[in-house]
Chains A and B, each alone.
Chain A
């Protein structure tokens, strides 16, 4: 439990910092050059870490399934939808909707256990927890904060 939470906090903090860095790059170089650069960096870093921790084993892809090769497309979908959503709705409202959708789909995923992950049964406790979080997101995002917030939003 604790390990999972700590890992999630590390991931979230790095995502926050990365978004700021990425938006700094895209201010100058535009969104597609930035997306390409970000993914290139991610690839080089993952490859390096993989080689450090696993050596040659990194290239042992015995259980590889065909669709795994296409999973990287999801990331391209994320960037495209975020950029267009933010352009059409502005950062505050689009991020609010993105976060709510993230949670709703997470809840759906846990309760259905799709793709062979452990099922987490859907309970009223879970629903209440998610609703309280969504309430928090709404208060955070539209509670009297200046609209200018671009730096914190791009994925």
Chain B
């Protein structure tokens, strides 16, 4: 039950984040919104980090491929495109298209075993699932 509540809240927060960014962008500009949300998020995460057991673990960053450590930088483009999408096509259609793209790219990476992931076989349910989701977006958008 607790897990379900966390998952529900997680989903609600993801949507809220997109909406809040879109709202803030209207007032102060998209790059400004991205810079401020990432900066304040960083400050809070850093403060929390100081109080958790894991705090010494950052030394292990040295063992990580530097490419993977740059992942966070995508946020600038993610926030910009997310905000632009919400302003043009609304929250529901944006979130739907984002989810489909996300599942599809993850699926393609899994199949090919890119980035050192275990290769996975393609299965019918995943194609049917993506097909259904695209059908849903078509119903929403047209």
User: Which residue from chain B places its CB closest to the CB of A99 in the assembled complex?
Assistant: B99
Total interface residues on A, CB under 8 Å, equals 120
- The number of residue pairs between A and B whose CB atoms lie closer than 8 Å in the complex comes to 449
Chain A residue numbers with a CB within 8 Å of B131 are: 136
B residues engaging A (CB < 8 A)? 2-4, 6-17, 19-24, 26-29, 31-46, 48-49, 52, 54-55, 57-58, 60-61, 63-65, 67-82, 84-106, 109-110, 115-118, 120, 123-126, 128-141
**Closest chain A CB from B102 CB (angstroms):** 4
A69 touches which of B40, B104, B129 (Cβ 8 Å): B40
9 pairs of residues in contact across A and B, judged by CB atoms under 8 Å: A12-B99, A12-B105, A33-B57, A76-B45, A94-B3, A98-B8, A101-B15, A103-B92, A130-B92
Main secondary structure of the interface of B (DSSP, over half): helix
| A115 lies within 8 A of B23 (CB) | yes
User: Which residue from chain B places its CB closest to the CB of A50 in the assembled complex?
Assistant: B31
CA distance A65 to B13 in the complex (A): 20
Main secondary structure of the interface of A (DSSP, over half): helix
**Closest chain A CB from B8 CB (angstroms):** 5
Taking A4-B93, A139-B128 as contacts, is the C-beta distance between A45 and B109 under 8 angstroms?
Answer: no
A33 touches which of B61, B106, B137 (Cβ 8 Å): B61
Chain B residue numbers with a CB within 8 Å of A46 are: 31, 34-35, 38, 75-76, 79
